[in-house]
Amino acid sequence: MHYVHGEWNLLTKSCVVCKREGIVYIPYARASFCREHFIEFYNRKILRTLRNSGFKSGKILVGVSGGKDSVSLLYALSVIRKEMNLEIEALHINLGIGRYSLESHNAVKKLEKILPDIRFHYFDLRELGFTIPEVVKAIKRPACSVCGAVKRWILNKFAYEKGFEFIATGHNIDDISTFYLKALLTQRIEDIMRGPEPLTPGSPDLRLVGRIRPQFYLSEMENTLYATLQNLPFVDFPCPLARGATLFKYKNLWKEILSTNPVAQINFVKSIIAIKKRIPKETQKLKSCEICGYPTTAPDGVCFVCRLRKKFGVL
């Protein structure tokens, strides 16, 4: 009995590389792997995604939340760093979400011990004068949208000030494909145009650091399996503020689609990226925040985080 697509599967055959007993069947690759060769397959996929995205080499800040995706990302990048000529450091942001943040912090601390030659940084949101639950209580915006905007601001500021060329984040194909599926089915053209890509270049004039998403074509299941097989610490219960039922329903649609065509999710995202390449880039009207100097789209020229800092009396 073996692990596949979040379920235990009886169909796993011998490893496609070494013919020993396989432990996982990857449907889109139509291949089973043993532990060793799954790990190799995973690392190679990260490497290939980086290379195909046009990324060459450089100083990367990895945002590590303590979840399975980012923990696997940091570990895999540490494995391929010589080959890709990477300089890696990690940043963990404590969001102040009760036990969830506490356990996330503990997981990252454990990971720091496993990766002694990577420098870890820690940022506590309270330094800005608020926590995510406090903001969610104070303003009418979904938790994840608030949290995402705050994390983006902190990662970008930190990376810019410390001279990082790229920020790497642990987005997986389940999240990315669901984002685009929902955007298409609800006619959110702006979301499609601005949606995630494997590499988003920075804009130094605007103090905007580039983004890379090396797990763009890796699934939640593959990330969990990698973290488990490598014995990595990660927080294994969901954030209590996690977004609501609607997105989850869209995510569930993939199960049905993938049972018809196991490559559908990858093909779908690849098609979206290919189409986006053919249409002129929408120039997002970014300007520098009048207070912090970091990029914002706010019409009044004050970014979301500075508005929060004002609201909480920190500015």
Length of the chain: 315
Q: Is 241 in the site for ligand SF4 (CB under 6 A)?
A: yes
Q: Is 308 in the site for ligand SF4 (CB under 6 A)?
A: no
Phi, psi for residue 61 in degrees, rounded to 5: -100, 120
Q: Which of 24, 84, 111, 147 binds ligand SF4 (CB under 6 A)?
A: 147
For ligand SF4, the binding residues in 78-97 under the rule CB under 6 A are 95
CA distances from 34 to 1, 71, 197 (A): 13, 21, 30
Residues contacting ligand SF4: total by CB under 6 A: 9
Nearer to ligand SF4, 147 or 154 (CB): 147
> What is the rounded distance in angstroms from the CA atom of residue 184 to the CA atom of residue 172?
19
Range in contact with Zn ion (rule: CB under 5 A) among 48-56, 111-119, 168-176, 305-313: 305-313
Phi-psi label, residue 38: left if phi above 0, alpha if psi -120 to 50, beta otherwise: alpha
Q: Which does 289 bind (CB under 5 to 8 A by kind): Zn ion, ligand SF4, none?
A: Zn ion
Q: Is 242 in the site for ligand SF4 (CB under 6 A)?
A: yes
Q: What is the smallest separation between the CB atom of 105 and ligand SF4, expressed in angstroms? A: 12
Q: Is 62 in the site for ligand SF4 (CB under 6 A)?
A: no
Q: Which does 144 bind (CB under 5 to 8 A by kind): Zn ion, ligand SF4, none?
A: ligand SF4
Element (H, E) at 145: helix 143-161
Residue 202, both tokens: 């920075």
> What is the rounded distance in angstroms from the CA atom of residue 243 to the CA atom of residue 148?
11
- The answer to whether 125 touches 91, Cβ cutoff 8 Å, is no
Q: What is the smallest separation between the CB atom of 69 and Zn ion, expressed in angstroms? A: 24
Q: CB neighbours (10 Å) of residue 100?
A: 19
Contact set with ligand SF4 (CB under 6 A): 95, 132, 143-144, 147-148, 239, 241-242
Contact set with Zn ion (CB under 5 A): 15, 17-18, 34, 37, 289, 291-292, 303, 306
